[in-house]
Amino acid sequence: MINMIWAGMLLIGLIYAGVNGTMAEVTESVFTGAKEAVTICIGLISVLTFWLGLMKVAEAAGLLKALAKMVHPLARRLFPEVPKDHPAMGYILSNMTANVFGLGNAATPMGIKAMEELKRLNGGKEEASRSMVTLLALNTACLTLVPTTVISIRMSYGSAAPTDIVSTTILASGCAMLGAICIDRLFYMRRARKERKKK
């Protein structure tokens, strides 16, 4: 599916540009897009390096294990493939916590680390496991308590109450998170049924 979407965006864009006479803009966008991607990754170096270092210290101190143990009863239902006390659970939870508090740049390294552990649990396959899809769904639609960037933009435009969208954001993102969990489960059940039929 990702191949189709990728090729689709490129081909539709190129054909549309040909018909619409925006080929010059498209040519330029190829290079700005590539440049933007590299800029993002270079920016990620500092963040990834710092947080991966700190996470290693947290792991060595046994904090990740303790965190995993604490919320195990709830997390076990969301990620049934992950064994108790496994470091993957600690990374997943650190990633979720960072997301909830709107610390976007801290969430990414922990998410990647969690994915790495989940891949190891899945026998190093190049295929996304059930838990990986769940983690991804939870990342795209996660409960947000403090939308820091949004609040600062509202402040700079002279809002009378820049934080009055916090309550609506909490409610809306909470619904999104519940929705994401349900959709994830539905797709998983559909997949499981297909596989049973094959056998």
* Interaction residues for other proteins, span 26-45 (CB under 8 A): 26, 28-30, 32-34, 36-38, 40-42, 44-45
Is residue 123 a contact point for other proteins (CB under 8 A)?
Answer: no
Please give the single-letter amino acid code of residue 187: F
Start-end of H helices in 1-71: 2-20, 23-60, 63-70
Q: Which residue in the set 68, 86, 131, 144 belongs to the binding site for other proteins (CB under 8 A)?
A: 144
The H or E element containing residue 140 is helix 130-140
Q: Which is nearer to other proteins, 55 or 68 (by Cβ)?
A: 55
Count of residues in contact with other proteins, rule CB under 8 A: 105
Q: Are 175 and 121 in contact (CB under 8 A)?
A: no
Give the phi and the psi of residue 112 in degrees, each rounded to 5: -65, -45
Cβ neighbours, 10 Å, residue 81: 15
- Residue from 70, 83, 179, 189 touching other proteins (CB under 8 A): that is 179
Pick between residue 44 and residue 71 the one whose CB is nearest to other proteins.
44
Residue 51 Cβ vs other proteins, minimum distance, rounded to whole Å: 8
**Residues 50-69 contacting other proteins, CB under 8 A:** 50-63
Binders of other proteins in range 63-102 (CB under 8 A): 63, 101-102
Q: Is 22 in the site for other proteins (CB under 8 A)?
A: yes
Check residue 1 for interaction with other proteins (CB under 8 A): yes
Q: Per CB under 8 A, does 169 bind other proteins?
A: yes
Q: Following CA atoms 90, 96, 102, 105 in sequence, which dihedral angle do they give, to the nearest 10 degrees?
A: 50
Residue number with CB closer to other proteins (75 or 111): 111
Task: Return the amino acid letter for 13.
Answer: G
Choices 67-75, 78-86, 141-149 (CB under 8 A): range interacting with other proteins: 141-149
Using DSSP's 3-state secondary structure scheme, residue 77 falls into: helix
* CA R_g for the chain: 20
CA dihedral defined by 40, 103, 95, 183, rounded to 10 degrees?
-90
Q: How far is the CB of 106 from other proteins (least distance, A)?
A: 7
